[in-house]
Amino acid sequence: MTLSVKRQVALQSHHTLGCPATTEYWTEVRSLNELVEACRYAKTHQLNLLPLGGGSNVVFTQPFEGLIAKIAILGKQIGNNQGGKVIVEAGAGENWHQFVCWTLQQGLSGLENLSLIPGTVGAAPIQNIGAYGVELKEVMDKLWAFNRETEQIKQFSVDECQFDYRDSIFKQPSSPWIIAKVAFKLSAKFQPKLHYQPLKQLLDGKSVTPQQVSDTVCHIRASKLPDPSVLGNAGSFFKNPVISLEQFKAIYQAYPEMPHYQAGSHQIKLAAGWLIEQCDFKGLYQGDIGVHEKQALVIVNKGNGTGREVMALASQIAKKVSEQFGVQLEIEPRVY
């Protein structure tokens, strides 16, 4: 066996919240063969198996009892031109932002609005990452995933991924699939998507390049969101809630200044950060765990906070928002 398995590995540096935790077993998989070996190792030893990318969307509240397989499958290649679209493939372990930068250097556009999102290429489809008016499902062509139960590789079309808002078939707790490689349909001819308000204000009416859009997105993100390498965080901790038109009208009467967005014919999306801010959590700290002072959607760890403290604060926030607005907040990261 070529697989290297370590025991009792500290996880603090392997997830962006930086909470102390350990895993019983740890391995890094750099190829499909090693992924197969990791799955077989977990089966043979009757271990829970957790595939881990950049660790930007997880909270560890206790020691992980099982095998964590760090997905480190690398590789990037430009494929065929299909109807004006250039197909680009990337291994699941590639750093997402570095991959976006690489596509721009190749003269290809399509991913620039998704710049500076933490995590890996393989993690991106799991929650259908989205930002500044673009969602992953719009730019993905297909992906390949490994079934840990049947040991089969399957190619998924966009429809088969069952993408939804921050959701996909891969995010379901019972999903046996581990993403190994993703293909994107990019363009050599730039068609900027600037309808998202902050981008519109800065760039609309100007002649812009994909790199300028990317740089602007990076600037906006950096001004609002803390860098996980400086201040531990898991990005947006809560999803923006989607409520019925009837419920929205009732809340809007009391809060006419409330930001809101159409999300289908009879549904409205609210800004979770705004709701949290109205409940006076913005900038509030409980020990080393707190709510970021610039963006109330982000729970941060100054260094020594635990995953349980993170979840305790998240629970308080959800309870207060429910009491004040009658809106249920759902958390984005996975909790272990």
21: tokens are: 């935790």
pLDDT, residue 198, reads 78
pLDDT, residue 59, reads 97
Q: Are residues 19 and 153 in the same domain?
A: no
Around 153, how many Cα atoms within 13 Å sit in the side-chain half-sphere? 12
- Predicted confidence (pLDDT) at residue 166 exceeds the cutoff of 90: no
C-alpha separations of 96 from 68, 93, 115, 121, 211 in Å: 20, 9, 8, 5, 16
For 262-287, write each residue's pLDDT tens digit: 887 889 999 999 999 999 999 999 99
Residues designated as active site: 166, 236, 332
Task: Give me the DSSP letters along 288-330.
Answer: TEEE-SS-TTEEEE-SS--HHHHHHHHHHHHHHHHHHH-----
pLDDT, residue 197, reads 78
CB-based contacts of 50, cutoff 8 Å, min separation 6 = 23, 64, 66, 67, 68, 69, 336
Per the prediction, the chain carries an average pLDDT of 94
The continuous run of DSSP H or E covering 45 comes out as none
Output the domain CATH number for residue 37. Answer: 3.30.43.10
Query: Of 224, 243, 274, which residue sits at a domain end?
Result: 224
pLDDT, residue 184, reads 97
What is the mean predicted confidence (pLDDT) over 153-180?
94
Q: Are residues 150 and 122 in the same domain?
A: yes
Full residue range of the structural domain in which residue 119 is found: 76-224
Question: Rounded distance, CA 116 to CA 97, Å?
Answer: 5
- Predicted confidence (pLDDT) at residue 206 exceeds the cutoff of 80: no
Output the domain CATH number for residue 239. Answer: 3.90.78.10
- Nearest CA among 25, 28, 29 for reference residue 7: 25
Q: 319 lies in a domain?
A: yes
Question: Rounded distance, CA 178 to CA 253, Å?
Answer: 46
The least confident of 39-43, 218-222, 304-308, 320-324 is 218-222
For 117-140, write each residue's pLDDT tens digit: 999 999 999 989 999 989 999 999
pLDDT, residue 55, reads 94
Q: 294 lies in a domain?
A: yes
**Domain count of the fold of the chain:** 3
Question: Rounded distance, CA 108 to CA 301, Å?
Answer: 37
